[in-house]
Every structure is written in structure tokens, then in C-alpha cells.
Structure 1
Amino acid sequence: MDNSPSVYVERPLQAHLPQHQQYSEEKDTIDLLKYWRVIWRAHWKIGWLILLSCALAMAALSLVPPQYIGTTTLLIKEKTPPVLAFQQVTDSSSGSVDYLQTQLALLQSRELAERAVKKLNLTTHPVTDPRQQPESWFTPRKWLANLELGQWLPILERFAPKQVAPSEADVFNEVTRNLMRRTSVKFVGKSQLIKIEVELPDPGLAAATANAIAQGFIDSQLDNSLKSSQTTTSWMNSRLVELRNNLRSSENKLQAYREAQGLVDVGGVATISANELEMTGNRMIDARRNLAEAESRYRQVQALSNGDLSRLSSVPAVLSNALVQKFQAQRAKAQAKVEELSGRYGPKHPTLAAARAELRTATDSLRLQVRQVVASIEQDYQLARASENSLRQSFNSNKAQIQDISRKEFQLREFQREVDSNRALYETFVTRLKETTATADMDSTKARIVDPAIAPLEPSKPRKTLILAIVAVVAAMIGIVLALMSETLNKTFKTDETIESTLDLPLLSVVPLVRNRNRRQLARLFDDNDHPRFCETIRNLRTWLMLHGAEMPSQVVLVASTMADEGKSTIANNLASSLTLLERVLLIDADMRKPSLSLNFDFPPDGPGLANVLAGTARLEDCIRTVGNLDMLPAGKLSPPPLDLLSSPRLGPLLEALKSRYQRIIIDSPPAQMVSDALLLAKHSDAVIYVIKAESTPVNQVQKCLALLQQGNAPVFGVVLNQVDLSKARKQGYSHSDTFQNYDYLSR
């Protein structure tokens, strides 16, 4: 078996530094593995917490009455067209989404709940009747009765409010409200299917109630449809009588107007008058054109009526006459003849006179003909003017007649339109009335049951599996949080890693916890060799001490601790016993306030010891006791205060004298936190072994005491982690370097 200790690299002591400076680097880094180790060490506690929480949850769930959900599925149909055709124009129906939402709200109405309550007699059912519900398991009356304090019942009843029996209406309202609270209606996805869910303690009643609500909705739709049809029929009957009277009145007005105006066929009369007007208009146009032409000719002639014959005969209207042209040619010929004979004959020549007579005759004939043409032109003008006036009067007369006929036709058509409108409306109402009467009892419901509810086999509440899973998860989280908080708040030493990282001191040994042993047995444990693991750790500590002594003499070894009951006396006694096999050793009990050697080895309590030697009241030889190969110097009888004794100049020479007689001096020191004795003794020591009780001594107190020793230049050699529960550490996953491996090897 290899008993050689692990090699440690010594680092400067940092126990005197502030805590926030020591752990600043650690706080900046999140060590997930560290947290996992903390959780793993507490996994048994977390498991028991989960089991306990689940057991309590099961117990609580057993007291909760189960609830069952009855589910009915309804199909909501599309909105049916109205009975009256004209309502399609006036009814601005909303979209299908709003319609479905309206139906969903109707399914949650109080009217349907009241229908279901009445149909199933829920006011008298044991499950829903509040008067038949079981009383609470805790009431003041029961509590006083259980305490056998019945004399207080009259006083309690005097101050308690009087219970008034609820009326049937109150019970009905309460049952209806409870049913509405226990009913939920929701769409199935984005379809037109709606689920009606009713949650009650009785599965059969839950299914029956869901079906009753669904059937009540359908019955309500049917009732509303029948009522609407009846109302519509009644209104249409009354309206039909009014429309019949209106039709008769309009027909009478039309006939009376025809008779008053003597109208037979307005269309034929209007057509004849229009044709006459058209013909008269055409003739009047021709007459106006003729009048314009005659007037033009007349104006030309009228302008030259006082002129000579030549100018008058040159007018185009006159010149165009054939006789005028003939006479004008004869006159021109006679004129030419006269001019010719005038050059040949004298004025009185018969031939010339005959030619002049012929010229006068031709001129007179021309003048007479021109006057006749002018008179004819004037006569034509007068005739054309008279004809135009006559035609214009006839046209105006025909026009006035047509306008009168149009006015009569308009009035006649107005009366006819009123008759036609009243007749059409009357016939429509007659047709719709017959349709409404024929379809009054037709099923016009807008919903039907697709999937009726059946009695559920499994309760919906409480969902035990889900609740237990949630409780388990919550309990596990609480356990993890408590483990992390405990690890954070428990600032004690549990592993060698904690000691080395916190104190920067080598861990000399990990001493296991020895159970079922008293103080005396623990002090002799190495000599008795009754605990192999404990003895091995003492040998490990002895090896450390001897190796350290090979480099630097450590003849005087001080065993100190922070507080009392950390096991430093047990370590000192057994370390001294282990060294007696190799060296001559003296064990000094320097804890004068609470001595342990006298109790552990049955020395006389009033016997002399270290206190007596330092006080000069006893010789050293008289104070040393020998047990086996180990010499011991008890604390002795206390007279002056221990601090004064340890501060006396006799302590140094005493230890020097003992060094000459012993190879190793082990000093059992008082606790470093309580008194300053350990600091005084450390000044005269070559090595200080600091004992820390596992999972007990606070870290900050150890740091404070080590800082004081460091300030006093005490030669702190290393740390011993004492009273380590190996089985607990193994279960919790603590690691202590190779020490546990050695323990396991020894145990095997």
C-alpha cells in the first residue's frame, strides 16, 4: 500500500485578503459543473421532496370531487333567405363570421340555460341543488361539538346570522348561474361546428345537460321561426286588405277620368292629329317658300312702278314673261326700222310715218303687257300671303289639339301606372301569403346536432397525471433552488478543493468521522487500531510532518483549530501516539480552560501540569505523565489567567529544555477564535497544523483566524479536514483527491 501523500504546491497565504477579492475571479465565471455537483449531492433530498410533494398532492386530489365534461357538437347552417322577396333588398345582412359569432353568443344565453334547468329538473337534482350539497367539513358548530364545548353553542347562535331558507326562485337563479359558469361554447377550428361543453360531477348528468342545451337551442330557433311566420302571415293579411282597397280605388279613378274626358283610344287620336300636323307643317313650309318668292318679285316690281317702260320691262320677273319678250322684240324691231327710215326719209314721209305708227303700236302693246304682268305678280303675292296665313292658323290649331291630347294621355298613364303598381303589389302579397301559409310548419332551424354527448368515462378534473407532473417539476425546482441556496449560505469546508482554493494551504489529511466512540476511545483510537481508515489518515499526517521536518526542523508542532469541539485534541493525541513508534514524543495540553488529557487518560484533576510549571509551583519532572511510550504534560491546576501564564518568559526556556529531551513536541492549543493563547503558542512553534471540522466551521472565521496567525508570522504548515462523513460524502459526490481511494482500498 502506497502511503505517500499527494504533492502540493505551496502558494502565498491569502486568508487575510477580503472575501470579495478572493472570489472576484470565481464570481466572474459561471461554473456549470459546480452547480451540477451541488444538485447531484442533493439528489436524494430532492427525490424525497418530490415524493413527499406528490404524496401530499395525491392526498389533496383524493379530497377533490372529480368533474366530467359532456360534449355536444352542433353544425350551424348558413343563413336562410327571408320569406318575403323584397326583404332581400332592405335586409343588409352581415358576413358569415358575424352570424356565427351571434349564434355562439346565443348558445351562451341565460334563456337556454333556463330551458335546460327546467327540462332536467336541475333544481331538485342532488348534484346541482344547493340545498342538497354536503356541508363543509369544518364549521364552528362541529368544531365546538368536537371540543365538547356545547355550552358555547347558544352564544354562537346568538351572534351568528340567521339562516333564511331560499325560495324556489332563488334556487332556480342560483342553479341557472352555476350552469352558465360550468358551460363553455367554442368553435371547432375554423369550421361551422360548435362544441357545447358542460362540466358537472355526474358524467351522465353532464352529457344530458349538454344535449339539453343543444336541443334547447334548436327548439328556440324553431319557435322563433314559427313565431316569425305567424307574425308575417298576420301582417300580410292585414296588408292585403289595404292593398285590395287601394287597387279598387285606383281603378275607379282611371275609369272616371276616361268617362269625363270622353277618351276611347288616346293612342289613335294622338296618331291622327300628329299626321295632320305633319302634313299642315309641310304645306305651310311650301306656302312660306312661295310667299317669299312672290314677295321678292313683288318688291322688285313695286320699286319700279313709277319708272319708264324700258326699266320696268327689264325686271327679271317681268322679262321672264313670254308675251313681254315677244312685244319687246316687236318694239325693238319697229324701233330699228324707224331709225333706219329716219336716215333715209324725211319726218313727214309716209313710210317713216307708218314705221313710227308701227313703233307706237308695239310700244303700247308692250306697256299693256307689262302692266298685266305686274298686276299678275301683285296678285300672286297676295294669294301666297293669304295661303301662308291660313296654313299657319291651321298648324297652330293642330298643335294645340295635340298638346291637349298629350296632357290627357299623361294623366291617363299616371292613373294607369297607379293601377298597375297596386295590382302587382297585391298579386305579390297574395302569392307570398300562400307560400307562407304552406310553409308555416316547415323546419327552418339553422342548426342540427352532429355528435350528441355521451356519458364520459374519464374525469376532466382534476387531471391527476398533469397535476402530479407539475407538482413533481415544481418540487424538483424548489429542491434545486434550496440546494443551491443551502450551498450558497453554507459557507463551510466540505472538500479539499474548497480548502485549497479558499485558504491556499496544503491539505495534510482528511480524517473520517468515527461514530459510536467516546472521548477516551477517540484519544486511544490509533493505539487500539480499531478504525483502519482513521489510523491511515493519522499515518498520512505523520508522513507529511516527517517529510517537512527533513527539509526544515519542525520539532515543536502546534495543533490548533478555530472553535471548540472540532477534534483538534483527538488529532493531537493520535498524532503523538503515531510518532512514538519512531521518535520520542511529548504531548502538551495547552488548553488550560478546557483541558482534555486529564479526562481522556484518567489523570488526577487537581494534578500539576503546564500551568504549575509556568507559575513555578511545580517541577517539570513531577508534571510529566507517561502512558505507554508517550509522555504527556497535562494542563495542570489553573491559578493565574492562562494568557498571563503563556505570556510569561518561562514558556520559551521551558520549550527549549524540552527540545533537548524530546525529538517531537505536540502542543494541543486552545481554540484560536476564542482566546489569543494559540497566537502566543504559535510564536514558539516550528509548525502549526490547523484542524477544521468538515461542514461545521464557517469559512470566514477560519480566514480571520489564519489571517491573525499570518500577521503574527506563525508557521502554518497545513490543514487537516476532520470528521468527514465518508458515506455521506460519497453519496453527495464530494471528492477528496486520492484519500478516499486509499480508504476504499483499506476497507477492501
Structure 2
Amino acid sequence: MNFAQFLLILQARKKIVLLTLLVTVAATLLVSLLLPKTYEASTSLVMNYKGVDPLTGMALPGQLMPGYMATQVDIIGSKNVALRVVDQLKLAESRAVIEQFNESTGGKGAVRDWLAELLQKKLDVVPARESSVLNVSFKASDPQFAAAVANAFAEEYMKITVQLKVDPMKKATTYFNSQLKLLRDNLEAAQAKLSKYQQEHGIVSVDNRLDVESMRLNDLSAQLVQAQAQLMEATSRQSVARGSGSSSPDVTASPVVQNLRVNLAQQESKLAELGQRLGRNHPQYQSASAEVARLRAGLNEQTALVTSSVSNNANVFAQREAALRSALAEQKAKVLQLNRQRDEMNVLNKDMEIAQRAFDQAAQRVSQTRIEGGSDQSDVSVLNPAVAPIEPSGPRVLLNTVLSLLLGSMLGIGIAMLSEMFDRRVRSESDLAEVARIPVLATIDWNPPRQRRFGLPRLQAPQQLRLS
């Protein structure tokens, strides 16, 4: 079928198309006029979204804002909010409503649930594009009732948002209180353990004591090194003194020994002189010989005394070195003991600091959640409250009429095409050629000639032969 055949069919079935169009438009217009008028009231809400988790205090990213808006739309249209609206407006207490409920449901179910479902069906929540505004609309036959229900939905939604925010805060506060008590017990246990350890070991300030003992250890180490050097020197002098006492530096450096040696040399010189002049039995020679013997004995005695003094000095240095070595070992043990005590106290202090930090953080969070849990401020504000509309929102007679013209035209064309399918007729040369499967040689036009608007009609034969 080509477009020319389609136009011929519409021309032949134009009565059906026009009748269908008139019936559709008339029915739509009649129904639109008979339907009761409906009024739509709308209120606008602004979402002051913060996105803070009540337990962790972490702010959620802004990418979750579309999901947040969809959640708020679902909350407004939820049955819980609708039941609150029913209770606020006291709709379930009306006798007319109860009678209508009994007629509709036969008394099955609850009036509140039935009314909530009706309100949900007439409620429309639309979020504004690229903003934090929600438009809450409600349709009803009474404009005052529509505005009251829209405002009631907005008010109850604000209340339930506060409840949804406060309830987690209250649960979080209860949880933090229990955890705070446990953390306080842990902190007290850590402090008691540290105090007990300090009392048992008599520690006031382990760092200061460790510094003093470390300085003493360094001093003892220096003294031990010095004593060891002195002991080595004394031991060397003792060895030299014992080997050859007269050539010992200590013996040589002794003033008594030097004086005795000078006197002995003088007396020996005098004795030699007397030996040349006098005989050995001469009293002067005997006296000088006795003096030389006395001086030599004194020199030997002083040499022995100096040698003994060197040995005693070496023994003293050895004893001092041994005492310093023992004191150094004890001091090392004491410093190591203090280091162990400091390490143990550091562990105890670290445990106490961790317990203190955890307790402080929990105390801060429980204070914050307690404040937020007691707040009745909502994150939602009413931007534009609903007012009773003056003009009805429906039915839209003009729009319905335009739509009925389109629908009636399409329906009329469809009925015309359906009628043509059941009663197919030849309406053009192409139809005849298609049905008979023979070429068309000529066509006869049986239509009467058209009359001119001015003048006499043109004479023409009743039929016209046109060769194809």
C-alpha cells in the first residue's frame, strides 16, 4: 500500500474517521466536565545536609548526596510518616471516614492504615534538579485539606528526621558510656600498677637517678683507668727496686739517701786520707772507719726503707685498683638495674598513656554524642509552606481535549483501516491492476462535471474516456 492508496482509503472512509473523532472528543469533554475538581497544594523543603556519622564522626563525601535525596524522598512517602499525618489531623476519628472505610473494606483492617495508604497514593515528592530542595505535593478535592495535608507531611517529616538522627545518637551515647566505664577501669588499673611498681622499688624519678648513677659510673671508670696506670707504674718501680735497690729511681731520688751517700763519700775520702798517714790501729782511723760503717749501714737501711715503701705503695695501688674494679662492677649492675626499671616503667607509662588517650577520646565523643542526642534541631527547613490553591489542578479540559483530538484521529484512522481490511474495494488503477493482474488500458470517469462559480456550466459528455 502506497501513500496515494492510503489517502483514497481515508477519503472513502472519512465518515468513520470523523464519527470516531467526534465520539472520542465528546466523551473526553463530557468526562472532563463531570469529573470532580482536584486541587494540588505544594510545600518546599530545604535539606541542610551535613552527612556526619553519629558513631565515628566522619563526614560522608558529597558524591553520596543523590542517594541521600532519594532516601529522603522515600522517608517522606513512607507509611510511618503517613500514619503520623493521620494522627496529627485526627482523620481516623471522623465518623464519615469510618463509614467510608466500612463501605470500602467491609470493616477489615485498621482505619489508620487505610487512610495512610490513601494519603500515600495522592502524595507526590519531587526533588529539585541540582539542588537540595524537595517539593511535597498533595491532591484533594478540598483546597484547604490539600494544603493542610501537605504541611502536615512536611512537619511530620521534619519530626521523624530529628528522631532518626537522635535515636542513633542516644544508642551511641549508651554504647560510649559503657565503653567509657571500661576505659576508666583500664586507666585506673594502669595507674595503680605503675604506682605499685614505684613503691616496690622506691623510685621517685628514675631518669634523674639514672643520670646520677651514670655519672658515678663514668667517674669510677675514669678512676679505675687512673688507678690501673698508677698500679702499673708502681709495679714497675717495685720490680726495679727489688732487683737493684741502689739504682732504683725512688732510692736515688730520696733526699735522705742522697745525703747519706754524700756523707759516706766524704767519710770514705777522709778514711782513705787517714789510712795513708796513720795506721789501722790509730784511734782516729778507727773512729773514721766506725763512722763509715755507720753511714753505710744507714744508707742500706734507708735503701731498704725506700724499697719497702715502693712495695707498699704498689700494694696500695693494687688494693685501690681492686676496690675500684669491684665498685665499678657494682655500679654497672646498679645502672643496668636502673635501665631495666626504666624500661619497665616506660612500658607501664606507655600503657597508662594509651589508656589515658583512649579515655580522653571516648569522653570527648560521648560528650559530643550526648549533646547531639539531646538536640531537637532538624536538618530540614520549610522554604515555602503550602497554601490553599485557588485554581484547580484538574481535570485539565483543554489538555484533555487536545489529547482526545490526537487519540480520536489515530483511533478513527485505525478503525478505517480495519474496515478496509474486512471490505476491500478497488479505488484506483493500481488496485485494479493488482487484483486482476492485467494492465489497465483506459479509465472512464463517471463523475459529473464541476460547475463554474460564475457563468453557465460547461457542456460535456456524461462520461469521459481516458486512455492509459
Q: Mark yes or no: TM-score above 0.5.
A: yes
* Structure 1 counterpart SS, 2:92: coil
Aligned twin of 1:109: 78
Shift of 1:504: 3.8
For 2:122 and 2:110, how far apart are their aligned partners in 1? 18
Unaligned regions of 5+ residues in structure 1, if any? 1-29, 137-162, 310-317, 324-373, 514-531, 542-735, 738-748
Amino acid of the residue matched to residue 131 of structure 1? E
| Counterparts in 2 of 1:216 and 1:500: CA distance versus 1, 3 Å | closer
| Counterparts in 2 of 1:191 and 1:117: CA distance versus 1, 3 Å | same
* Structure 1 counterpart SS, 2:377: coil
Aligned twin of 2:381: 448
**Alignment partner of 2:156 out of 196, 204, 216:** 216
Residue 472 (1) aligns with residue 441 (2): no
**Alignment partner of 1:536 out of 453, 458, 461:** 461
Aligned twin of 1:72: 43
Aligned twin of 2:136: 196
Q: Deviations over 1:156-206 (max 9, x none)?
A: xxxxxxx9545xx61111111222233333321132222223333333322
Residue 118 (1) aligns with residue 87 (2): yes
Name the structure, 1 or 2, with higher relative contact order (CA <8 Å, separation 6+): 2
Shift of 1:93: 5.6
| Counterparts in 2 of 1:392 and 1:452: CA distance versus 1, 3 Å | same
Report if the CA contact (8 A) 1:200-1:206 is conserved: yes
| Counterparts in 2 of 1:475 and 1:266: CA distance versus 1, 3 Å | same
Unaligned regions of 5+ residues in structure 2, if any? 253-306, 449-456
Equivalences for residues 339-418 of structure 1 within 5 A: 387-409=320-342, 414=348, 418=352
Report if the CA contact (8 A) 1:207-1:454 is conserved: yes
Larger Rg computed on CA atoms: 1
For 2:168 and 2:416, how far apart are their aligned partners in 1? 72
Report if the CA contact (8 A) 1:500-1:506 is conserved: no
Amino acid of the residue matched to residue 537 of structure 1? P
For 1:430 and 1:503, how far apart are their aligned partners in 2? 100
* Structure 1 counterpart SS, 2:44: strand
Alignment TM-score, normalising by the size of structure 1: 0.43
Shift of 1:488: 5.6
For 1:238 and 1:175, how far apart are their aligned partners in 2? 43
- Is 180-189 or 488-497 further displaced after alignment? 488-497
For 1:493 and 1:242, how far apart are their aligned partners in 2? 98
CA RMSD in angstroms, aligned pairs only = 5.6
Shift of 1:275: 0.6
Report if the CA contact (8 A) 1:499-1:507 is conserved: no
Q: Deviations over 1:51-83 (max 9, x none)?
A: 21111223344454444433222112122757x
Shift of 1:276: 0.2
* Structure 2 counterpart SS, 1:123: helix
Report if the CA contact (8 A) 1:71-1:210 is conserved: yes
| Counterparts in 2 of 1:125 and 1:184: CA distance versus 1, 3 Å | farther
Aligned twin of 1:585: none
* Structure 2 counterpart SS, 1:449: strand
Aligned twin of 2:26: 55
Report if the CA contact (8 A) 1:66-1:459 is conserved: yes
Report if the CA contact (8 A) 2:124-2:136 is conserved: yes
For 1:436 and 1:213, how far apart are their aligned partners in 2? 29
Amino acid of the residue matched to residue 218 of structure 2? E
Report if the CA contact (8 A) 1:512-1:534 is conserved: no
Higher percent of residues as helix: 2
* Structure 2 counterpart SS, 1:199: strand
Equivalences for residues 173-322 of structure 1 within 5 A: 173-223=113-163, 258-286=198-226
Equivalent residue pairs, number: 407
Report if the CA contact (8 A) 1:66-1:201 is conserved: yes
Alignment TM-score, normalising by the size of structure 2: 0.64
For 1:492 and 1:427, how far apart are their aligned partners in 2? 93
For 1:125 and 1:473, how far apart are their aligned partners in 2? 44
Shift of 1:271: 2.1
For 1:537 and 1:416, how far apart are their aligned partners in 2? 123
Shift of 1:405: 3.3
Amino acid of the residue matched to residue 175 of structure 1? L
Amino acid of the residue matched to residue 352 of structure 2? E
Report if the CA contact (8 A) 1:46-1:479 is conserved: yes
